[in-house]
């Protein structure tokens, strides 16, 4: 099979020929049809400091995908050959306290598809049955390919009750934009999304039309709050940027007793004024990945009830033209980029 490999300790990915994976009795062989490029893939592509520390040379990368079941192991019962599927990218162990308690997303022995384990930028992927997410026969495989990041958005946005609440989201990357759409769908009263990039905010309007976009370089957030009828502060904050100024602004504009869910990872540590957190009696919760498998249930339910994520997909390439796709991702002026693995 053809696949994209981190073959060298330098910028880039390389198209190689590898054997189709053999599957264990409890595994499923997935024929990959669509994949999406993630920010993590860009870290690996650029070969930055994080990638150098975490990703082995020679790894098949990629972890956002949709495909069909090509083969099942002898003990597999939940899916059948030909069925449309995607998958949870975190492969967990069975020994830790959290795993044995059913808190699989908190298992410290977790390994990532396309980061530590062979990934989905390939014609075939072997995946434990436990990780396979079955889909309806007519489920769009392009949407299947962006469910991994959508799950991050759903996990973060639904960490706290949003019904009737005023929500601040900092960071208009793909997951922040998705979170705005989820917050709208989940019943938030007002949603505000901040960034310093006009292109991102303009794009976000197509996905989350009820959300108030704020470029904090050009507008004062507190002025915007007054304009939209907010007299106190935000009930819920969703921090998606990992940026010190954004987090500090969130602390300054939260309601007393408000709640913050944090998904954004800072590029380097920064100081935090814990006096504001204590003084405002704020609840701050770190978010990692997706809850297995409650987030997947919620995500599929939201999509089934009308959440439209199709505007998130802005560009499509044949997998053989992957270099063009990564070049476009480098510009930062794109939503989710899809690779078609039926064209390799």
pLDDT (tens digit, 9 = 90+) per residue, 120-145?
Answer: 999 999 999 999 999 999 999 999 99
pLDDT of residue 115 exceeding 90: yes
3-state helix, strand, coil in the chain (%, to 5): 30, 25, 40
pLDDT of residue 174 exceeding 90: yes
Structural domain boundaries enclosing 52: 2-146+309-340
Instruction: Kindly state the percentage of the chain with pLDDT values over 90.
Output: 98
Instruction: Kindly state the percentage of the chain with pLDDT values over 70.
Output: 100
Could you tell me if 32 and 71 lie in one domain?
yes
- What's the pTM? 0.95
35, 40, 86, 194: which is the annotated catalytic residue? 40
Rounded Cα–Cα distance for residues 137 and 144 (Å): 12
- Tokens 């595994």 identify what position? 27
- Please, which pLDDT band fits residue 34 given cuts at 50, 70 and 90? very high
Mean per-residue pLDDT, 201-208: 98
Known active-site residue 75: no
Centroid of chain to Cα 155: 10
In this prediction, residue 52 carries a pLDDT of: 95
pLDDT of residue 231 exceeding 90: no
Known active-site residue 253: no
Could you tell me if 38 and 76 lie in one domain?
yes
Mean per-residue pLDDT, 60-84: 98
Q: Is residue 296 part of a domain?
A: no
In this prediction, residue 268 carries a pLDDT of: 87
Cα 334 to Cα 38, 100, 109, 194, 313: the distances in Å are 12, 41, 34, 18, 8
43, 216, 314, 334: which is the annotated catalytic residue? 43
Rounded Cα–Cα distance for residues 108 and 127 (Å): 19
Could you tell me if 22 and 142 lie in one domain?
yes
Q: Is residue 257 part of a domain?
A: yes
Domain count, the chain: 2
Q: Is residue 292 part of a domain?
A: no
Could you tell me if 90 and 171 lie in one domain?
no
Residue 259 vs residue 50, higher pLDDT: 259
Rounded Cα–Cα distance for residues 197 and 280 (Å): 30
In this prediction, residue 210 carries a pLDDT of: 97
Q: Is residue 225 part of a domain?
A: yes
Could you tell me if 141 and 178 lie in one domain?
no
């Amino acid at each position: 099979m053809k696949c994209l490999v981190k073959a060298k300790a330098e910028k880039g990915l390389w198209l190689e020929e590898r054997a189709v994976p053999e599957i264990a009795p409890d595994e499923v062989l997935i024929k990959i049809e669509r994949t999406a490029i993630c920010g993590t893939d860009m870290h690996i592509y650029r070969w930055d400091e994080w990638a150098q520390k975490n990703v082995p040379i020679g790894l098949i990368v990629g972890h956002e995908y949709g495909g069909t079941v090509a083969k099942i192991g002898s003990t597999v019962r939940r899916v059948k050959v030909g069925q449309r599927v995607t998958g949870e990218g975190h492969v967990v162990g069975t020994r830790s306290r959290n795993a044995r308690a059913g808190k699989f997303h908190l298992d410290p022995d977790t390994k990532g598809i396309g980061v530590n384990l062979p990934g989905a930028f390939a014609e075939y992927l072997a995946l434990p049955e436990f990780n396979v997410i079955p889909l309806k026969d007519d489920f769009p495989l392009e949407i299947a390919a962006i469910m991994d990041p959508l799950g991050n958005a759903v996990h973060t946005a639904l960490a706290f009750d949003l019904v009737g609440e005023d929500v601040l989201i900092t960071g208009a990357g793909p997951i922040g934009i998705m979170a705005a759409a989820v917050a709208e769908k989940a019943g938030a009263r007002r949603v505000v999304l901040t960034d310093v990039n006009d292109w991102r905010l303009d794009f976000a309007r197509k996905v989350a039309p009820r959300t108030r976009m704020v470029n904090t370089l050009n507008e004062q957030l507190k002025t915007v709050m007054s304009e939209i009828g907010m007299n106190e502060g935000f009930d819920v904050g969703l921090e998606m940027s990992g940026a010190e100024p954004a987090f500090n602004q969130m602390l300054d504009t939260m309601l007393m007793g408000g709640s913050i869910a944090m998904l954004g990872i800072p590029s380097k540590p920064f100081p935090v004024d814990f006096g504001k957190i204590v003084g405002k009696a704020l609840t701050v919760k770190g978010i990692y990945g997706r809850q297995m498998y409650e987030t997947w249930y919620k995500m599929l339910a939201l999509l089934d009830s009308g959440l439209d994520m199709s505007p998130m997909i802005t560009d499509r390439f044949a997998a053989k033209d992957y270099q063009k796709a990564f070049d476009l991702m480098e510009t930062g002026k794109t939503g989710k980029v899809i690779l078609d693995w039926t064209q390799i």
